[in-house]
Amino acid sequence: VDSQHHTMAKYFMELCLPEYDMVSLLPSEIASASLLLAVKICNQFEWNATLQHYSGYTEEKLYPIARKIVNIVSKSATSKYQVNTTKNFFLHFIAYITA
């Protein structure tokens, strides 16, 4: 996992903070699902045995949580709890990747 995955996963976790639906989940589940989502978006490698070992979660266990995060990200641009950070984040992230 490189800094791109780390940055994207942190952003996903931050978006989960004000979401009531995420309260019932363990912080490690949210962190692992955020990392899984970042790995899938960047499409550089799969969720492997090493990631499973250190996170303690299988890819199948994390899919439902990752789907919730996708829904949160998709509605974050119009949410009254987000300060238009989605657009700004991705603009900065794309600039970071291409730099």
Query: What is the pTM for the complete model shown?
Result: 0.78
- For residue range 5-44, what is the model confidence (pLDDT) as tens digits? 888 899 899 889 889 999 999 999 999 999 999 998 887 7
HSE at residue 44, side-chain half, CA atoms within 13 A, is 11
- For residue range 54-93, what is the model confidence (pLDDT) as tens digits? 999 999 999 999 999 988 888 876 666 555 555 566 656 5
- For residue range 30-39, what is the model confidence (pLDDT) as tens digits? 999 999 999 9
CB burial readout 12-44, b (16+ within 10 A) else e: bbebbeebeebeebeeebbbbbbbbbbbbeeee
Work out how many domains the chain is built from and give that number. 1
- CATH number for the domain harbouring residue 54: 1.10.472.10
**Spatial distance between the Cα atoms of 16 and 14, rounded to a whole number of angstroms:** 5
**């550089």: which residue's tokens?**
44
Q: Which domain holds residue 91?
A: 3-98
**């979660």: which residue's tokens?**
57
